[in-house]
Every structure is written in structure tokens, then in C-alpha cells.
Amino acid sequence: MSKVRVRFAPSPTGSTHIGTARTALYNWLYARKTGGSFVLRIEDTDKERNTEAALQELLDGLRWLGLDWDEGPEVGGDYGPYFQSQRGDIYQDYLKKLKDAGRTYEKDGAIFFKLEGERFTEYDDYHKAEVEKVESQPVVIEDLIRGKVTRREERDFVIVRSNGDPSFHFVNVVDDIAMGITHVLRGEDHLPNTSKHVELFNAFGITPPIYAHMPMILKDPKLGKGKMSKRDKGALIEEYKQRDFLPEAVTNFVALLGWSTKDNQEVLSIDELTERFEIKDIQKGGARFDEKKMSHINFEHMKRLPIEKYSEAATSALRKESLVDDSTDQEYLQAALRLCQEKIDSFENLPSFAAFFFSDAFAINEKAQKKVMKGEAVLRIQEITPPLKSLEEWTAEKIEAIFLSLAEEKELKPFAWFPVVRFALSGTNSGPDFLPMLEVLGKERVVSRLNTFIETHSA
């Protein structure tokens, strides 16, 4: 078989949707898996709607996701130009081929592609008029996902509009021919176009590429029914970037929108995805977006990050909230982050979770306050502060021993102290593991916060 050449052919008219990212990803995975080429072709024939800003967002998004292209904008290649707006001459050459073969005619200023077959007229409900139809041969598409799909085109269609612009069908097919594309993986919404495209391939005397039509992405059932739209939460790649999701988690999650491994392994690195991806394992039915799964996958990738990488991303999230800066002690920062890494499922939530490590002015969680600040809460803090203050070796183990011996002395459980101490130190009743948290905060911070707490509450 000839070398695989796949293309991702977006029309950048707005923000990049996860469905678009999925098309790019599946093509990329297939190219990387087979040692083929991943071509990026910009379908920008609609001059009104294609914008430079949308193109930049798209390219940035692909790079952020780690989807590098072998040919296309900014990298070049042997089959360029890679913008349809720059390929006018090529379209003229191909148009001439169809003209010479007697497969075109002009009507109302537009150029039509002429189907082969017996012609007849019929009343058409949709157009509310008598229209010319063609008894053409059915087109059989051997779709890698859907199996055999048979469709019949029965009306000639426009290949050059009356304003001189070639149509989507025409340029899409010409480019797939001229760029030597072997496989077309695209959304199911294109299935009605594919029979037209196969007609065009046949007219050029070229074997069509192998097709695979991917299922639509459906809304999270919690958000409604039907196809996911650009306005739905979680629909745009830019949103994940803004919210500090890990790109490898987004790639992983997007890959699972319509594809799964046989053993349902959900957390996969890009290398694992490449190794395990198979077009035939893509499902036919709609793929449900699942926000919870997205968070879960992000958390799993966050947990797996080496601490240096984790700390890089975390630091940038903390910097945004001015919780850390160049003067922050690196060792302390790393130690604090190590504790956060086990607990927090998004960098977006990290600043509020970790603020108390870096500032004494942490927020007070009122619910936690109500729960914790009852009975002898202040007394508990008064009891624990002196022995902690005298503790010389500040380790989780030694700190625990202090709590245990005090508990024994007072005939209480250590749990009588834990929540209120946690609250005094961090303003809430949940967070990192308790004893390691005290160890990392350090004796000075702990004792000073406990003292402040006593002062504030013993008025």
C-alpha cells in the first residue's frame, strides 16, 4: 500500500471546537501510527467568514495539543500552497479537465457538474418546482467506521458559483487529488457530501480515498439534548487553555469522544493513544460529552506529572493570583505543591486550595467555620499550641506524637484537635493530608497562626 497521507482541512471561521480538535487528532494519530503524513490544509475559500484571528487560534490550539503537522501553513511542503485561497490556478487546471471531458455546463452564470445517466424531470417538493433529475449509478462508499454506505446523487451540482468562486465540493476533491490524500477521516455531517465527492473523483478518473465518517459529539446529558454546539460549556479548546487544563489531558479526553480501547483504559498518554488507536474501533453512534470524565482525566494526568512539570504549571496558576513570585522559597513551594498534587483535580482550582500555604490572609470558609467552631474549639487550640511550640524536631511523625500524647492526657481522640487546628491554619476543613500539611507549613507559621487564632477568639 502507498504511504498514508491524511489531511485536516478546517475552515477557520471562529473559535476551535472540540469536534474540530477531534478530527485533527484522529487524523494525526492515524498518520503517526502508520508512519504517514499529516497535512494541514486551510479551506479558506469563504473570504467573508475566514479570519486571520480564527486561523491563529486554530494553529495555536493544534500546537498546544501537541498535534504537529508535516505539511501546511508555516511549515510548507511539496504539495503547497496549503491555503485554498492561494490555489486558484490549480482549480482552473482541474476545471478545464472536467470541461474537456464534457462534464460541465453553465447555467445562470454558475458552472455545474454533470452527472452521468438518463435524465428526466420530476416535481420536487423541496424546490416546489419541476426539476431535472438524473438516473445515476449509486455510489458505494466502503466506510471504515460505517461499513458499506450506498448513496445516489440525482441532481447536477454547482462547482463554480456565479461570482467565480469554486464550490466546497470541487476544491475539496481537487485538493485531495492534488495532495495525494489516501484517507479522509471527517465528521458524519459530511456523509451527504461524500457521494458528490466520489462522483467528482470518478469523473477525474481517480480512485477516491478511503473514507471514515466519525460520529457527532452530543451534549452532556446534564446540559441538554442533541449535538454539542459552540456555546456549550467545554466546547472550545480555548476554554481549556484558559482554565489551565493540561493539554495531554484534553488530547486524551478528546480521543475518547467516539473511540475507546478494548479494555476501556481511559487514562492514556499521547504515545499510548498512538499505539492503540484504530479507525475501526471508532463508534458509529453519537459520542457523549461528559464534563465529569474530562475533570477526572485531567486529575489523573496531573497526578502523573513529574513534580518539576507539575510545579511549572502550578506556579503559573499561582502567579496569576499573585500568591507566589520570584522571591517565593523554591523548596517550600515544591513541598507544598507535592501535597496539592495528590488532591486537586485542576490547576484552575489550585489557587484557592493552596492559598493558605503562601499567605496568612487566607479566606475563611463559613460552612467549615460553623462546623468546626463549636464547643471547646478555642480551648483545643490553647492546649495544643504550647507543646507544638516546644517541639524541636518538626516532622509529621513527631507532630503526630504530640497530638497523641495530648489526647491521652485529656482522654480524648486526636480527632478532637485535627479539624479545628486545620481550620485555624487554613480557614477550612478540607485540604491536603493533615500531618504532612503541618510539617510543610513549618513550625513558625503554624505556631504564629495558632497564636493569632487564640488572640482573635479569646476576646
Residues carrying an active site annotation:
230
Q: Which of 326, 368, 304 is nearest to 318 (CA)?
A: 326
Shortest Cβ 187–ligand GLU spacing (Å): 7
Which amino acid is present at 282?
Answer: I
Shortest Cβ 35–ligand GLU spacing (Å): 22
Beta bridge partners of 151: 139
Q: Considering beta carbons, is residue 50 or 315 the nearer one to ligand GLU?
A: 50
Q: Considering beta carbons, is residue 172 or 428 the nearer one to ligand GLU?
A: 172
Q: Considering beta carbons, is residue 43 or 439 the nearer one to ligand GLU?
A: 43
User: Residue 62 interacts with ligand GLU (CB under 6 A)?
Assistant: no
Shortest Cβ 131–ligand GLU spacing (Å): 27
Query: Three-class SS of residue 258?
Result: coil
Query: From CA 377, how far away is CA 115, in angstroms rounded?
Result: 85
Binding letters toward ligand GLU, positions 22-61, x by CB under 6 A? ---------------------x------------------
Q: Which of 163, 177, 165 is nearest to 46 (CA)?
A: 165
User: Residue 172 interacts with ligand GLU (CB under 6 A)?
Assistant: yes
Element housing 372 (H / E): helix 366-372
User: Residue 166 interacts with ligand GLU (CB under 6 A)?
Assistant: no
Query: From CA 9, how far away is CA 44, in angstroms rounded?
Result: 9
Please choose, out of 5-13, 370-378, 396-404, 407-415, the segment that lies near ligand GLU by the rule CB under 6 A.
Answer: 5-13
Shortest Cβ 184–ligand GLU spacing (Å): 6
Please choose, out of 6-14, 93-101, 287-295, 392-400, the segment that lies near ligand GLU by the rule CB under 6 A.
Answer: 6-14
Question: Other C-beta atoms within 10 Å of 51: how many?
Answer: 13
User: Residue 190 interacts with ligand GLU (CB under 6 A)?
Assistant: yes
Within 260-349, where are the H helices? 270-276, 291-304, 307-320, 330-341
Q: Which of 299, 357, 349, 356 is nearest to 331 (CA)?
A: 357
Q: Considering beta carbons, is residue 179 or 333 the nearer one to ligand GLU?
A: 179
Helices 247-255 & 291-304, crossing angle to 10 degrees?
130
User: Residue 10 interacts with ligand GLU (CB under 6 A)?
Assistant: yes
Number of residues that bind ligand GLU (CB under 6 A): 8
Shortest Cβ 115–ligand GLU spacing (Å): 20
Please choose, out of 3-11, 152-160, 263-271, 287-295, the segment that lies near ligand GLU by the rule CB under 6 A.
Answer: 3-11
- Contact predicate 143/212, CB 8 Å: yes
Query: From CA 379, how far away is CA 368, in angstroms rounded?
Result: 18
- Contact predicate 291/259, CB 8 Å: no
Shortest Cβ 194–ligand GLU spacing (Å): 9
Contacts to ligand GLU by CB under 6 A: 9-11, 43, 172, 184, 186, 190
